[in-house]
Amino acid sequence: MPRLGMPLSLLLLLAGCGAAPTANAPVVPLYAQDRYVDGIVAMHKQDFPAAETAAREALKEAPDFVDAHLLLAESLFRQGQEADGIAVLDDVDRLAPGRPEPLLLRGMLTELRGELPKAQEFYRQARASYDTGTMTREQALNYAIASYLAAGRLAGFQAVDDLLEKTPEDQELRVLRSQISQDQRAFFLQRVKPENGKPENARPAPADRGEQ
């Protein structure tokens, strides 16, 4: 995979954890922001325990720092701690109702369990939750991923190509488009896939517990 400019793995992580603050969002202290950046770097290095530690330190300083919650969730998923990661997504749902990222991540987890129709419903909900008129670049990247996972390559191409019209020299976007072109769903699902391939404390899906 090409590694031009910002590595795509880091770019995708930022897409998951870097949404723009709203007008009503609390100001995040600099210490928490610094620890969040440390966590992003640790995730890029695949040092998931360090990413978890950095995210937790950020949250001690700023308990409502939604992006740090999302970083914590992804670091837990990569360590196989699925149930704990899902609990963090539940926190995000309470702190920031309507954020698309928990829906996207829940869809990825569901797809990893082999429940593609249910996963695609999560992806569709995530895709519909983005404000396409005011998205940041990072949000637009996540929107492209959700579009591809929900509706296939043509939908993903359209979202990526809209970005490429604005920044045609962006090599990271071209790598993203290449992954979609090759129908590499597994590439995107790595965001929540345990490093060892096995969740340690996965909470069963509702269907697995006989629930509706």
Looking at residue 209, what is its pLDDT? 34
DSSP letter, residue 179? H
pTM for this structure? 0.83
Two tokens at 147? 């579009």
**Per-residue pLDDT band at 207 (split at 50, 70, 90):** very low
Cβ atoms 105, 89 nearer than 8 A: yes
- Cα separation, 172 vs 180, in Å, equals 13
pLDDT of residue 139: 86
Q: Which amino acid does the sequence have at 176?
A: L
Of 55 and 17, the structure prediction assigns the larger pLDDT to: 55
Q: Are 115 and 207 in contact (CB under 8 A)?
A: yes
Q: Which domains does the chain have, with CATH numbers?
A: 8-19+29-199 (1.25.40.10)
Going from the C-alpha of 34 to that of each of 39, 59, 154, the distances in angstroms are: 9, 12, 38
pLDDT per position as a tens digit, 191-204: 999 988 766 655 44
What tens digit of pLDDT does each residue of 147-204 get? 999 999 999 999 999 999 988 988 888 999 999 999 999 999 999 999 887 666 554 4
Q: What is the mean pLDDT of residues 5-20?
A: 52
What is the CB neighbour count within 10 angstroms for residue 27? 9
